[in-house]
Structure formats: C-alpha cells, structure tokens
Amino acid sequence: MSSTPLRFPGPNRFRSDKEKDQTPEAKDRVVQQTDQDASQSRLSAVETGYLVDPFARAFVEGPVQKKLPLINRGTYVRTTAIDQLVTRFLTSTSSRKQIISLGAGSDTRYLRLLTTHRAAAASLLYHEIDFSAVTSRKIRALTRGAPSSPSSPSSLVSELLLSPPTALTDDALASAHYYIHPLDLRTLHPGCALPAGVERGLPTLFISECCLIYLAPQEADAIVRWITTDFSGDVGVVLYEPIGGEDAFGQVMVQNLAARGIVLKTLKKYSSLERQRERLRVLGLVGGQEAADVDFLYECWVGERERGRIGGLEMLDEMEEWRLLARHYCVVWGWRGGFGGWEGAWPVQGGSRV
C-alpha cells in the first residue's frame, strides 16, 4: 500500500465509476466476493501463527494466499477483539441467549464456540444470514468434510453440531441450535417477518463485520432500527467497519477498493468513532455505546506478553503504515438493557483520531 501514489478524489470519492455502470446483481456479486477475501485473510493469519482456527482451511478452496504482515495483524486484532465481546456475552449468565450474524459468510465463529465453549453453546441459538450464493458455499463446506486428516469425521455438520439438522438444502440449514438463512439483509426492517427460528424475546447479540458498510445508509439504519424495535429482550450490536475516508490515507483506501467495484456506502456518514457511537445511540442502543480503532485495541486489549508473541511472528517494517491502517478500522459496540457485563469491561478510547 505504501507504494500506491496518493491521488485526491473529487466530491464523488465515495462512489465508483465502475460501480455506477454495474447492474444491481453485479454489484451484489462484488460484495459477495469480499467473503472469499476475508476467508483467505483468516487462513493466512492462522497459517502464520496469529490465530488458532482448525476450521479456517475448510472454507478456502485452493492454496493459501499469504497476506502482508500488517493484514495478518489486523485480522488477528479484529478476530480476538470481537471474540472477547462475544465470550463476555455468552458466559455472563447461564440463561438462553441468541447470536445473529449479519452477512456471516464463511465465518467460523460458531464452530469455534462449539469447541471452546460447548457447554455455554448448549443454551445458545446461533443464526447466520447472507446471500444465497454465499450460504450455498458454506453449506457445501460444512457437508463436504472436516478440514484436517484422513481420520477426521465425515463432515463438520455431523461431527460438531449439538443436534442434527431438521432441514438442510443447498443454501439453508436449520437445527435446534444453529441456522443458516439465505436472505438479503436489505429485506430486514422494522415490522418485517422474522427469519425461521429467531426468537425476539431472548437476549440477542448482533454481529456485523464489514457488512452494513456496503449498504446504503438508509438500508443499514433500517437494520439497526429493526434490532431495537422488533426485539423485546436485551440487545447488543458489534460492528467492525472502516472509518476515516477523508484524510489522504483514507482516500487512497477508498480508491483502491473502488477500483475493484467495492463502494463503502456508509463511510461518509459514519466516518469517525464519534459518529459511530452516535449512530448506535440515535438508532436505539441507549444503554451504552463504545468504539475503538484497531490500533487502540492492539495496544490496550492485547496483553504485553501476547504482543511480544505477535511481534515475533513476522517482521513488520513499516510501523507507521500499520498505525495508519489500524486507525482506519474500528470495532463498535452498543447495547440496550443489562447486556452481558460489557459496561466497564475493557479499556475504552476517549475520542476519534480520524
């Protein structure tokens, strides 16, 4: 990225000429492709020693695409920070709970929970929502076989799920604890029909990792409004998103993505940590709102000994480039009700740096 020349876009820098010429279906396919990019990044971080994820290989076809050290480190921080929020929610009480992952793609979090917190997962409903083209790839991976050795069980579904599927199609799965829904997120809005198996009264955590950013602001806001109006129990939301599209580094980031037809549609409206917090408050998560960029999360949420381990995995030549990149991505979390012991649980970042 450091070799990319700085160019300063005009007023329409948050849009792409390539995107303007695409059909709606083609635009959706570009967004769907980002899931495969994320899978490769996750596998690269696993293979390099940043993360432990025995399921990452099952969702990547072909060879590992080794990522730059700063990408591997970013994937590590993103994954472990969200894992902390999820684990605190999951283990806060023994009561039944629900997690709904928006734009889940090939994410392996539920499979990992089944190995690390299996007892707690017995009281959990876990839903994943994504395009049919994406869920069908995941179903194929889940039913194809386990990722490790010839002695592995016949499939991830048969080995790991707490109960056998009650329904399984090319693009959907339903069981007593786990659902995969082939659904366009843009159909989620206040008053819409709930996906099968979703319970509106349970304490529910919603996760969106680089998902709402691809929707028009009114579409993304409608989803959060759906969460805060149609669910009667305690609710929490975790977002992972880019921020800071207006400085020189951010403009290059936006342009590089736009060259691939990827447009960050909510970036202009929610471009800072402060705006991200206010977003959640205005849309109904009135119990609390917090946000921190990836640089802060690495320095303040990762212990000194673990930072030493991470630093020894690969040579990171450009520390300033790492900090620039890390300050342009953030984790945002907010809640309504007595939610999972989040308040005061971690160091928080006082203000926006972008």
Q: Quote the pLDDT of residue 4.
A: 34
User: What is the band of 10 on the pLDDT scale with cuts at 50, 70, 90?
Assistant: very low
CA dihedral (302, 207, 109, 314) in degrees, to 10, reads: -40
Q: Is the dihedral of CA 182, 104, 237, 100 positive or negative?
A: positive
Q: Are 113 and 90 in contact, with CB atoms under 8 Å apart?
A: yes
Q: Which residue has the tokens 């998103």?
A: 241
Rounded Cα–Cα distance for residues 122 and 118 (Å): 6
**Phi, psi of 188, deg, nearest 5:** -90, 120
pLDDT tens, residue by residue, 103-112: 999 999 999 9
Is residue 294 scored above 80 in pLDDT?
yes
Mean pLDDT (whole number) for 37-55: 96
Q: Give pTM, 2 decimals.
A: 0.90
Q: Is the pLDDT of residue 352 over 90?
A: no
Q: Give CA–CA dist 297/74, Å, rounded.
A: 10
Burial pattern 63-102, b for ≥16 Cβ within 10 A else e, equals eeeebbbbbbbbbbbbbbbbebbbebbbebeeeebbbbbb
pLDDT at 276: 98
pLDDT digits 0-9 by tens, 237-281: 999 999 998 888 889 999 998 888 899 999 999 999 999 999 999
pLDDT value at position 18? 53
Assigned CATH class of 24-351: alpha beta
Contacts of 65 (CB under 8 A, 6+ apart): 40, 44
Residue 61 burial (CB < 10 Å; 0-12/13-18/19+)?
exposed
pLDDT at residue 318 in the model: 85
Q: What is the mean pLDDT of residues 309-330?
A: 94
Question: Which of left, alpha, beta for 50 (phi over 0: left; psi -120 to 50: alpha)?
Answer: alpha
Residue 6 pLDDT > 60: no
pLDDT of residue 160: 83
Binding residues for S-adenosyl-L-methionine, as ranges, are 78, 103, 184-185, 209
In the three-class reduction of DSSP (H, G, I as helix; E, B as strand; rest coil), residue 206 is classed as strand
Q: Where are the domains of the chain?
A: 24-351
Known binding positions = 78, 103, 184-185, 209
